[in-house]
A and B are shown apart, each in its own frame.
Chain A
Amino acid sequence: MNHEEPDRIPALEVAFYSDTIKKHYGMKVGGESSLKIVQYLPFRTRLVRKFLENPKIAVKSLIDSFKFYIKMKLDVGLTIVSNFPRNVIRGGFIDEYGRIMQYEKYKGDGTYILGYHGGHLHNFEDFEQWGVLDPQDEIREVMLKATIEAQRELNNEIFAIPAVASVFENTWEGFGLENFSKILAHPKEAQAIFDSRGEFTLEMTKIVTEHDIRAILLWDDYGFKNGLFTNPRHYRTYVFPWLKKICDTAHKKDCKVILHSDGDILELFEDIIQSGVDALHPIEPTTANPEYNIFKLHAKYRDKITFIGNISPAMLSTGKITEIEEYSKKLIRELAPGGGYIFSSGHSINPAVTLDRWLAVLNIREKYGQYPIQVPD
């Protein structure tokens, strides 16, 4: 992210949902099934919180997860410091933002995926009753300490980065798109809601930097396949002022900011750079806009931002191995020289990604990922 050449191209995945691939690497799977029991118990929310507040469990689960990443020669491991359950419900939970999250079982290999199922909040009055998010929540401190300890236990073989919910997506998802669209028609209400969420992410950034952690990932989604969720002026009014404050705060403590946003966000690209974001993930390759292309964007902005991505999950599910290999090589050949590129899929690893295709990706990175970059045409 300093735009310098390291020893090898770093690699990361922000989410890994595949029991098949996990089993291949000897990982235990099926832990989600314990939720089937918990959801029926009295005091289930308190029980889940007790579990999350346990430092030993937090460190162990992170070490297990990071060991899996190390086996795949990924360099970055994410830890979650927001979006914790506020209420445990049948099949899932309502998170701190009011998002209804449910576990969905993929019928192929039985992988559980945590999916968004709508907003719990309906209007501004609900938001006021729901209250603000607490950056000082005990669980976050446990997770941040576990982040540092797990990395140290593994002799810094993995770079552990806390991931925190950012200002746009989590906010609207707490209401659902229909209700949130109505709120946007009332600027004072919209401003109050975004300010509350922005303040939380800013405080979390301060806390992360106080732990001397050198990178943070902001979870967000500004766009979808066909463009932005909302008018660019809304991002400029409600989101980017906070994003700038967050980046400035992080940079004061030498902490890099990675932004995750799906979708075609070309219209906001310069705003994101001007806000101070250091790296952008995943430059989604399956949008409808041919101009939202990692190679074109890299040619224009290579000195201003680090690119993370973007092997298509669709290609990883159904593409030919040779096609995957060629695209992976092209990413390394064209984007890695000079630094400023991190190898990754173009979204996440979902259960439809097959083992042979995933191994092909890892093989290319292993074969051609060393600096100085030498990838044959």
Chain B
Amino acid sequence: MALQEITDTLVGLKSDEVVDLVKAKLKSGVEPHEVLKALMVGMDKVGKLFEKNEYYLTELVLAGEMMKDALKVLGPKLKSDQSSSKQKVICATVLGDYHDIGKNILRILLISAGFEVIDLGTDCSKEKIIKAVKKYGVKVVALSSLMIMTLKEISDVSAALKEAGLRDQVKIIVGGAPLNMELAKELGADDFAADAVEGVRHIKALMGA
């Protein structure tokens, strides 16, 4: 019941209250991972409201910002027992493209869903992606491309992973305005998501989570 309040605050988008509430719960002796669980339930509900068209992009983003603020308080208390076991995902906007709204929403939703996100930013070269795949041993690379003229970069990343002998170990999921599933496959990706909420669901499936 006490933790329901945290979930409700997030779902109700009471952005000025969430940090104080998290601090109060921790002070009262609630375990950090229980607080995190309540927040994750809240984000999941917000995602569902977004999919039902009851919440819109700014509401999804606001919930993500609330989650980020809450994690700043929770983070240091969670580090010791959580981070090593998390599944890792790379998020990046492809080379030549600087749009990052979709990527940033996906990042926070993935974090909220318990993933560790390696965010490579925008205008990201295939070399940078290969290096990160090797370094972190990720199984999923999520690429964003919002411009028609940068779509080819998806093929280039796929080809570069193949050349590096990593393609069989890594799934590529893509998103962005000009894309659909057919085009995604044509470009060498394994999957496509129409929005960040769907992206999280698909990434879970790709991970076998």
In the assembled complex, which residues on chain B have CB atoms less than 8 Å from the CB atom of A115? 98-99
* Chain B nearest CB, measured from A278 CB (Å): 27
Q: Evaluate contact between B96 and A181: CB separation under 8 angstroms.
A: no
Residues on B with beta carbons closer than 8 Å to the beta carbon of A317: 148-149
Q: Which of B52-60, B70-78, B84-92 contacts A (4 or more CB under 8 A)?
A: B52-60
Contact B57 A104 (CB under 8 A): no
Q: Find B62's partner among A107, A116, A185 (CB 8 Å cutoff).
A: A185
- Neighbouring A residues of B155 by C-beta, 8 Å: none
- Quick one: closest B residue to A115, CB to CB? B98
Which residues between 184 and 233 of chain A lie within 8 Å of chain B, taking CB atoms? 184-185, 224-231
The verdict on A23 contacting chain B, using a C-beta distance below 8 Å, is no
Q: Give the residue of B57, B61, B62 whose beta carbon is less than 8 angstroms from that of A224.
A: B57
Given that A106-B96, A286-B177 are known contacts, is A230 also in contact with B58, CB under 8 Å in the complex? yes
A224 to B100, CA, bound (A): 14
Question: A30 to B147, alpha carbons, bound, how many Å?
Answer: 21
Chain A's nearest CB lies how many Å from the CB of B31? Answer: 29
Task: Verify A350–B62 contact, CB threshold 8 A.
Answer: no
A117 CB-CB contact with B under 8 Å = yes
A112 to chain B, nearest CB (A): 12
Q: Are B58 and A181 in contact (CB under 8 A)?
A: yes
B residues in contact with A314, CB < 8 Å? 148, 178
Task: Tell me the minimal C-beta distance from A233 to chain B in angstroms.
Answer: 10
Q: When A102-B98, A226-B195, A229-B56 are in contact, do A177 and B149 touch as well, CB less than 8 Å? A: no
Number of interface residues of B (CB under 8 A): 26
Q: Is the CB of B98 within 8 A of A178?
A: no
Q: Whole-angstrom distance between the alpha carbons of A180 and B65 in the complex?
A: 11
Which residues of B sit under 8 angstroms from A117, Cβ to Cβ? Answer: 98
Per-residue CB contact flags for chain A residues 141-181 toward chain B (1 = under 8 Å, else 0) read 00000000000000000000000000000000000011011
Chain A residues within 8 Å of B57, by CB: 177, 224, 227-230
Kindly provide the distance from the CB of A84 to the nearest chain B CB, expressed in whole angstroms. Answer: 21
Residue of A106, A177, A184, A229 with most chain B CB atoms under a 10 A cut-off: A177
Contact assessment for A182 and B56 in the assembled complex, using a CB-CB cutoff below 8 Å: no
Per a CB cutoff under 8 Å, which of B15, B64, B96, B101 touches A104?
B96
CB-CB < 8 A to A286: which residues of B? 177-178
Q: How far is the CA of A286 from the CA of B194 in the complex (A)?
A: 12
- Residues in B neighbouring A77, C-beta threshold 8 A: none
User: Does B13 reach chain A (CB closer than 8 Å)?
Assistant: yes
Q: Is the Cβ of B15 less than 8 Å from the Cβ of A182?
A: yes
CB distance from B157 to the nearest CB of A (A): 15
Asked if B53 and A181 make an inter-chain contact with CB atoms under 8 angstroms apart, the answer reads no
| Pairs across A and B, CB under 8 Å, 7 listed | A104-B96, A117-B98, A177-B101, A181-B65, A227-B57, A229-B56, A234-B58
Q: In the assembly, what is the distance between CA of A102 and CA of B101, in Å?
A: 16
Q: Compute how far the CA of A184 lies from the CA of B58 in the bound complex, rounded to whole angstroms.
A: 8
CB of A180, distance to nearest CB on chain B (Å): 7
| Contact A181 to B177, CB < 8 A, known contacts A106-B96, A117-B98 | no
A350 engages B149 (CB within 8 Å): yes
Q: Is the beta-carbon distance between A182 and B148 smaller than 8 angstroms?
A: no
Interface residue ranges of B87-140 to A (CB < 8 Å): 96, 98-101, 104
Measured CB to CB, the closest approach of chain A to B117, in angstroms, equals 16
CB atoms of A228 and B56 under 8 A apart: yes
Distance in Å: Cβ of B14 to nearest Cβ of chain A? 8
Asked whether B178 lies within 8 Å of A227 as measured between CB atoms, the reply is no
Q: Mark A48-91, 1 if CB is under 8 A from B, else 0.
A: 00000000000000000000000000000000000000000000
Give Cα A106–Cα B13 distance, bound, in whole angstroms. Answer: 40
Contact residues of B between 140 and 185, Cβ < 8 Å to A: 147-149, 177-178
Q: Is the CB of B13 within 8 A of A185?
A: yes
User: A178-B64, A228-B56 given. 14 additional CB < 8 A pairs?
Assistant: A108-B149, A178-B65, A181-B59, A181-B65, A182-B15, A184-B62, A185-B62, A224-B57, A229-B56, A230-B56, A230-B59, A314-B148, A350-B148, A352-B148
Residues from chain A with Cβ under 8 Å of B177 in the complex? 224-225, 286
CB neighbours (8 Å) of B96 from chain A are: 104, 106-107
Q: Is A29 an interface residue (CB 8 A)?
A: no
A229 to B105, CA, bound (A): 13
